[in-house]
Chain A
Amino acid sequence: MSAIDTWVARQRERAAHLPGASLSWLARRRADAIARFADLGWPTSRLEAWRHTSLAFLEQQALAAPESAAHPAATLAALRAAFDDGGHWLVFVDGQFAPTLSVIGTLTAGVTVGALSDALNTAPDAVEAAFGTANDSASPYALNLALCTDGAFVRLARGTSLEQPLHLVFIGATGAADSHLRNLIVADANSAASIVEHHVGGGATLGTVVTRVQAAQDARITHVKLQQQDAQAIHVAQIEAEQARGSHFASHSLSFGARLARNDIHTRLIGEGCETLFNGLYHVDGRRHVDHHTLIEHAMPLGTSREYYRGLVDGNARGVFAGRIIVAQDAQRTDAVQRCDNLLLSKLAEADARPELEIYADDVKCAHGATVGQIDEDALFYLRARGIDQVHARRLLTYAFAAEVIERIAHDALRKHARTALLARLPGGATLEELL
């Protein structure tokens, strides 16, 4: 039996116990999804989109439940202490909703926040409309659909908003060798929310995450993802957004942990006058690997998109960024900017940055650029000439380079938490705490 067959068998075994197992539409989609996965197998470097990030090794990899990963209650307590913002907390441990750890504050009428497994019982039609299919998706996301055990379901009725951020905490503890989560965010017209995904723990497990966002007319959704998994974890995740007229979607992806992290982030601007921000930061060291593949599709006129990614690549690590912007023929007067800048912190570190613009409209303003470089020697000398020693100066400049991404997070507590998380990653970060 090949490794792929093992996954198919596993799906067959688990199917009856997955939430919503009795829903025929879901059973059908899951069956289609596992068939697609079996057909495609794990993506290899032969596929252009996975050229730098083959998952073929998963054929051989035996996954095991982590031995000493994060302790859920302690992890959560630390996170909550960092945010005294009275936000809402939905917690998932090893892919399962943890109601006793979750805290949902008072919600405005018309706002639904809960576990997908519950929503499949209480609002199956709404879930069906938002769930998505595995058609056209890359094989890991097909596997996600086939095996997903839970996730968040968020629904914002017309004109409603979440006053405080919603934190989705995904903790890999000791219970499972793989986890598959699916989050659905449905924002009706003129609604607004900030949603933060925290990914922690995970040991040496495989985790797939798919987050789907539907932003109706004039909706404003901010999505922040903070991936701080254990150094052996494999994290493969997709964010799929669709934006109607005048909507605003911001994706902040901060990737600090995991042995291998892959993020596919995609939005389609299908109404006029949409705004999109893709803002990302990654830090990899040792032999770790991170890959962001992003796609912004301007389908309609007057859209504005801004994309800024920065990478810190240390040790023997590798950072990959491939960003694509498509401006369709109808998307006149699109204004798009894309940048990816990498700082190599060691001689053996490697960064690949590939920006791509595909423009079919003739009246557009588009710019893109990518750099891979070292610390600015002029800035380093300037600091030293003021008595600041070389080591401290390098740390300061490294932090400052990365912090520019974090400064784009509008929410104060989130921004502060992200800064702390970054400093915790950087050697000597504690000496820079005054910067916070």
Chain B
Amino acid sequence: MLKINNLHAAVDGKAILKGLNLEVGSGEVHAIMGPNGSGKSTLAQVLAGRETFAVTDGSVDWDGTDLLALPAEERARAGLFLAFQYPVEIPGVSNAYFLKAAVNAVRRHRGLPEYDAMDFLARVKAEMKAVGMKEEFLYRSVNEGFSGGEKKRNEVLQMALLEPRLAVLDETDSGLDIDALKIVAEGVNRLRSPERSMIVITHYQRLLDYIVPDKVHVLSQGRIVRSGGRELALELEEHGYGWIDAEGKAAKAAAGARP
């Protein structure tokens, strides 16, 4: 269970998250939607432990652990996974080395024996097949020269290998055509389980046709302004984000007008 309480975060002194509250239960899939600049990616990065974002107030409790007290690598080992919106290219490091180092770091933490080269290859090849990645991608540098779709598949592959308890998918649909989107969504759906919670961040409701969420939240100006079921996403699809912003401003104005 993840409990985000009154989370405030800033970058370069500029406040971006301004009192965000969210609870995600075990096995639940929550979608977070919102216009550009509403703080969606900031939330993802703060949860993953990026230090460029300063948490100025609030708390994040993750099954009794103070998530914000852990450095990024420990969060990952404890089972948090961020699928990056823009996966980073790392020339000179083979995908195989990278994946094995990551998987073994997580396995060590969980008290599991590390994979040797043979076991790892067998495992990774099976997972690659499931996300439709060719074997050659093992021997190429991490994400280097990968197309947008290949990068996102590589993210889903990593998620499958690392078996997180909490996965945060940051605009995993951006830049994908419909076929790539379906493959990525299938990969994600395959990983849905009662022990694994997911936060799916997206600008468009399109992704939610394929990854059906338990709950949908709308983020605006650093706060969750609406929560609901799937129908909320469809509503957003129909009306756009304009009305959310207008509501936000009206609420603010009303608050300001109070004596």
Contacts and interface: CB of A to CB of B under 8 A. Distances in A.
B105 interface: yes
A387 interface: yes
Contact of A387 (B87, B88, B106, B141): B106
B109 to A, nearest CB: 7
Interface string B82-122: 10100111111110011011100110010000000000000
Q: A384, A390, A396, A397: which has the most chain B beta carbons within 10 Å?
A: A384
Contacts of A401: 92
Contacts, number: 75
B76 A384 contact: yes
Interface in A386-435: 386-390, 392-393, 396-397, 399-404, 407, 434-435
B76 A387 contact: yes
B101 A388 contact: yes
A383 B73 CA distance: 8
A400 B90 contact: yes
A25 interface: no
Contacts of A402: 92
A379 B90 contact: yes
Given A385-B48, A385-B82, A403-B92, A390 B97 contact: no
Contacts of A387: 73, 76-77, 102, 105-106, 109, 162
B50 A381 contact: yes
B49 A385 contact: yes
Interface size class of B (residues with CB under 8 A): 20 to 34
Contacts of A379: 88-90
A399 B98 CA distance: 13
A386 B90 contact: no
Contacts of A383: 90, 98, 102
B89 to A, nearest CB: 8
B202 interface: no
Nearest to A386: B102
Contacts of B77: 387
Interface size class of A (residues with CB under 8 A): 20 to 34
Contact of B102 (A381, A388, A400, A403): A388
Nearest to B83: A385
Contact of B92 (A389, A399, A434): A399
Contacts of B92: 399-404, 407
A401 to B, nearest CB: 7
Contacts of A392: 101
Contacts of B84: 382, 385
A384 B84 CA distance: 13
B102 A397 contact: no
B71 interface: yes
B83 to A, nearest CB: 10
B142 to A, nearest CB: 8
A334 to B, nearest CB: 27
B158 interface: yes
A381 B72 contact: yes
Q: B48, B90, B162: which has the most chain A beta carbons within 10 Å?
A: B90
A384 B93 contact: no
Contacts of A384: 49, 71-73, 76
A378 interface: yes
A388 B77 CA distance: 9
A321 B145 CA distance: 29
B135 to A, nearest CB: 19
A386 B162 contact: yes
Contacts of B109: 387
Contacts of B91: 400, 404
Contacts of B82: 385
Contacts of B71: 384, 390
A386 B93 contact: no
Contacts of B97: 434-435
A397 B92 CA distance: 8
A407 B73 CA distance: 29
A388 B93 CA distance: 13
Contacts of A393: 73
Contacts of B93: 396-397, 400, 435
Interface string B55-84: 000000000000000011101110000101
A74 B97 CA distance: 33
Contacts of B101: 386, 388, 392, 396
Nearest to A399: B92
Given A387-B102, A400-B90, 20 more contacts: A376-B88, A377-B52, A379-B88, A381-B50, A384-B49, A385-B48, A385-B73, A385-B84, A386-B98, A386-B102, A387-B109, A387-B162, A388-B101, A389-B73, A390-B73, A400-B93, A403-B92, A404-B92, A435-B93, A435-B97
15 contacts: A378-B88, A379-B88, A383-B90, A385-B49, A385-B84, A387-B76, A387-B105, A388-B102, A388-B105, A392-B101, A399-B92, A400-B92, A400-B141, A434-B100, A435-B94
7 nearest A-B pairs in the assembled complex, by CB-CB distance: A400-B92, A387-B105, A386-B102, A387-B76, A382-B88, A384-B72, A384-B73
Interface of B: 48-50, 52, 71-73, 75-77, 82, 84, 87-94, 97-98, 100-102, 105-106, 109, 141, 158, 162
